[in-house]
């Protein structure tokens, strides 16, 4: 025997509807959160390689329209590979004092490639900063230290631009924005005496010890 069902009170129906709507919002919130997480992960995967490529591009040589090398910036943040004091490539000792300090750096991308392949990739840049010796500056009593920078020299491996594959650009101490290529004597000296692909790795222990 069927009995008539009691009508659901209005308050109960309102509560049930509110609960159902709350469940729907929970589901929508979970879906939205999942979408946001996926979007964030995708952005990380995309941005990181692009950032790496941008950094790598900044380590490549750049030239002015007339072929001068644009002065690289933040060279001291490159990989330090060796230093010398009073080292010269010609006969005769300095007239007085220990001679100049030479610090040599290589772009991180070129360093990584060399560590893996023992070869300098195209686009390699090596920088040599030259400092006069300083001494007797308080509180120092003995010894010498790197004083004023007097020059910056950049070696570039760019076979697409230079038939000799390497070119050398001397910058002075005046923070010039660009420099012209040095004469052929630099190429001849490096070709004859450099231990590795026109680079004096015999003087740079960080590179020499990996040979």
Task: Tell me how far CA of residue 70 lies from CA of 161, 170, 179, in angstroms.
Answer: 15, 11, 7
pLDDT value of residue 201? 96
What's the Rg (C-alpha) of the chain? 32
Residue 6 pLDDT: 57
pLDDT of residue 5: 55
Q: Which two tokens stand for residue 198?
A: 């026109």
The pLDDT value recorded for residue 31 is 43
Q: Is 61 left (phi over 0), alpha (psi -120 to 50) or beta?
A: beta
> What pLDDT, on a 0 to 100 scale, did the predictor assign at position 43?
41
Which residues of the chain have a pLDDT value below 50? 3, 21-22, 27, 30-31, 37-38, 40-54
Nearest alpha-carbon partner for 200 in 84, 62, 75: 84
**Residue 140 burial (10 A CB sphere; 0-12, 13-18, 19+):** exposed
pTM for this entry: 0.71
**pLDDT computed for residue 71 by the predictor:** 95
pLDDT at res. 53? 43
pLDDT of residue 145: 84
What pLDDT, on the 0 to 100 scale, is given for residue 38? 44
The CATH number assigned to the domain with range 69-90+98-208 reads 3.50.70.20
Nearest of 119, 125, 108, 114 to residue 166 by alpha carbon: 125
């Amino acid at each position: 025997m069927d009995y008539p069902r009691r009508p659901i009170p209005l308050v109960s129906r309102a509560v049930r509807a509110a609960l159902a709507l709350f469940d729907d919002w929970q589901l929508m919130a979970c879906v939205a959160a999942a979408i946001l997480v996926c979007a964030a992960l995708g952005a990380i995967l995309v941005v990181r390689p692009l950032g790496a490529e941008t950094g790598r591009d900044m380590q490549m040589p750049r030239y002015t329209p007339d072929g001068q090398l644009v002065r690289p910036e933040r060279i001291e943040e490159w990989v330090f590979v060796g230093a010398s004091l009073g080292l010269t490539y010609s006969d005769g000792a300095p007239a007085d004092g220990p001679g100049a300090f030479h610090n040599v750096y290589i772009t991180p991308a070129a360093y990584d490639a060399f560590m893996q392949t023992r070869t300098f990739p195209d686009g390699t840049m090596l920088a040599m900063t030259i400092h006069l010796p300083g001494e007797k500056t308080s509180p120092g009593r003995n010894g010498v230290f790197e004083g004023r920078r007097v020059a910056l020299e950049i070696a570039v491996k760019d076979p697409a631009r230079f038939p000799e594959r390497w070119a050398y650009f001397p910058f002075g101490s005046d923070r010039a924005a660009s420099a012209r290529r040095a004469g052929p004597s630099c190429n001849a000296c490096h070709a004859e005496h450099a231990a590795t692909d026109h680079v004096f790795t015999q003087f740079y222990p960080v590179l020499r010890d990996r040979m």
